Amino acid sequence: MHEDFETTSIATAPIRRVVIAGGGTAGWMAAAALSKVLGKTLEITLVESEEIGTVGVGEATIPSLATFHRLLEIDEREFLSATQGTIKLGISFENWRTAQHRYIHSFGTTGKDHWTAGFQHFWLKGRERGLAGSYDDYCIELQAALQDRFAHLPNHRMNYAYHLDASYYARFLRQLAERHGCRRVEGKIVEVTTDPASGFIGALRLERGEVIEGDLFVDCTGFRALLIGQTLGVGFEDWSHWLLNDRAIATQTTAVRDAVPYTRAIAEPWGWQWRIPLQHRVGNGVVYSSKYVADDEAKQRFLASVEGEVIKDPWPVRFRPGRREQCWAKNCVALGLAGSFIEPLESTTIHLIQRGITRLMQSFPAVISQVGIDEYNRQLNDELQHVRDFVVLHYHATERRDSPYWEYVANMPLPATLQHRIDLFRETGTVFHVPNELFAENSWIQVMMGQGIVPQQRHRTPDLMGDAELSHFLGSIKATVDRSVEQLPSHMDYLRRYSPATPPARPAAPVAG
């Protein structure tokens, strides 16, 4: 007996030609990964115009970028030298909890967990008994950041990320992509043609008349979202009721001291400033809400606070926080700013580009299927929600009430998913990690305690330990951290030996991410 089965395939032609619209970090990350991994089976073309500037999605990254580089067999020394890179062990949050308070969200693990309870419960017990120091004392990465130290430790015992020049990074990736067969086409896109029957994108027509046809298109056109938004009409979910900031101003300054191994995020009455130290300069910017401060005032106060000589005229960026309702629609995948933008506070933009690329390659279809598209979007939407909640946490959990901006964020209604995490930690001291979620338990703990959320109770397991045993347990961890950090050289002394900067000829102008 023959039975017809319904198919979820929405295209009949196999994917042989991939067209990437737009360069910058998103475009060249996609080109480098696709050409390195699938270049022997695909024809990959990247279209970009030198006339169209890029926002530049980031100078600060998170540790997942090192994993991405290992997959692409990128040499770390070569990468750091080419991008003027420095090491990032975490973020220094200044004036967030109160106007004079500072804490560091590090990339490390703190202490040692028991299978029944996280380390924070043992630390809470130690604080009750007067046996524990600061929670910061039990993390190598955090103590190394405070002391401006770094070196590679055996068995990858140090978790770290990078500060980099985003424009130099795009050029570095372009060289890698072109070595693996990616073709770059210079030109401005003036028309995106679609198939009348399926609605699929068929080709990009350039200003000089050239037509670039493809089977799968990757939209890396930034906030314009030329393919996913303007052509396919995919809507945008606005998150500005939780994330107030909608403007940024960026500039570059000369370095007045050695680079520290962390990003600085300095809260203002209406937003916050970033300072990102590279080997050759410092990236500076201010992110703010236009509802609470005028552009001219934000720029004036920002420029009055920067250190060193301004070496590039400040440039403005306008944005709307949120995400596309679908980052993959028909035969178009949106990466970077075309698909979503949360804000640069936790340096997640490059990570989300990377995750979109990795997820695409892991599910790369022979023929485009709706069920595959749906799963891609489901996973990405879950991840975006987790990142959004983590960033919103920094604003809502604060003791500041010294301006209308901070008054609003402290009292605004939260996403139910975030409210649950806060309530759970405040009432029980417990955190949890969702599979494939970016931020681990210790990140949530560091930020919640750093922002002033104190658990009201803790787990019972630490009660099995007497004072002597608990003191030894905590003391041995701290001693190990202290010994490890004491052996580390200064961050910049190490980098000058390991990967001294070799800048390209032209200057670059990225924005923090």
For residue 56, CA distances in Å to 52, 53, 218, 345 come to 12, 9, 17, 15
Low-confidence ranges of the chain (pLDDT < 70): 1-12, 52-58, 503-513
Q: Give the separation between CA 320 and CA 185, rounded to whole angstroms.
A: 30
Q: Among all chains, which residue has been given the structure tokens 């200064």?
A: 490
Nearest to 425 by CA among 389, 400, 401, 477: 389
- 8 Å CB contact between 281 and 168: no
Quick count: other Cβ atoms within 10 Å of Cβ 303? Answer: 15
Nearest to 163 by CA among 85, 273, 259: 85
Largest Cα separation within the chain, whole Å, is 80
Q: Which residues of 139-171 are buried (b: 16+ CB within 10 A; e: fewer)?
A: bbbbbbbbebbbbeeeeeebbbbbbbbbbbbbb
Helix axes 349-362, 370-396, angle to 10 degrees: 160
Q: Give the separation between CA 334 and CA 222, rounded to whole angstroms.
A: 9
pLDDT at 10: 63
pLDDT at 509: 44
Q: Give the separation between CA 473 and CA 309, rounded to whole angstroms.
A: 49
Q: Give the separation between CA 462 and CA 243, rounded to whole angstroms.
A: 38
Q: Give the separation between CA 251 and CA 283, rounded to whole angstroms.
A: 6
The HSE-up count of residue 350 (CA atoms within 13 Å, CB side) is: 33
Beta bridge partners of 235: none
- Distance in angstroms between the alpha carbons of the first and the last residue of the chain: 59
pLDDT digit string, tens, across residues 451-492: 999 999 999 999 999 999 999 999 999 999 999 999 999 999
Q: Give the separation between CA 145 and CA 107, rounded to whole angstroms.
A: 10
Query: Which tokens sit at 67?
Result: 């994993």
Q: Give the separation between CA 206 and CA 221, rounded to whole angstroms.
A: 14
* pTM of this structure: 0.93
Residues in the chain: 513
Residues identified as active-site: 88
- 8 Å CB contact between 457 and 427: yes
pLDDT at 11: 61
Give the 3-state secondary structure of residue 72. coil
| Residues 6+ positions from 494 with CB-CB distance below 8 Å | 150, 151, 488
Q: Among all chains, which residue has been given the structure tokens 């089977």?
A: 215
The HSE-up count of residue 406 (CA atoms within 13 Å, CB side) is: 19
Query: Which tokens sit at 200?
Result: 């699929």
Q: Give the separation between CA 403 and CA 415, rounded to whole angstroms.
A: 23
Q: Which residues of 30-47 are buried (b: 16+ CB within 10 A; e: fewer)?
A: bbbbbbbbbbeebebbbb
pLDDT at 435: 84
Q: What is the CA radius of gyration of the chain?
A: 24
The HSE-up count of residue 483 (CA atoms within 13 Å, CB side) is: 6
Report the sign of the C-alpha dihedral through residues 240, 511, 230, 26, in that order: negative
Q: Among all chains, which residue has been given the structure tokens 């934000």?
A: 298
Give the 3-state secondary structure of residue 312. strand
pLDDT at 53: 61
pLDDT at 156: 74
Beta bridge partners of 369: 9
- 8 Å CB contact between 295 and 247: yes
- 8 Å CB contact between 368 and 216: yes
Backbone angles phi, psi at 77, to 5 degrees: -65, -45
Q: Among all chains, which residue has been given the structure tokens 């955090």?
A: 142
For residue 255, CA distances in Å to 88, 94, 329, 364, 490 come to 17, 20, 44, 44, 17
- 8 Å CB contact between 249 and 243: no
Q: Among all chains, which residue has been given the structure tokens 């961050």?
A: 491
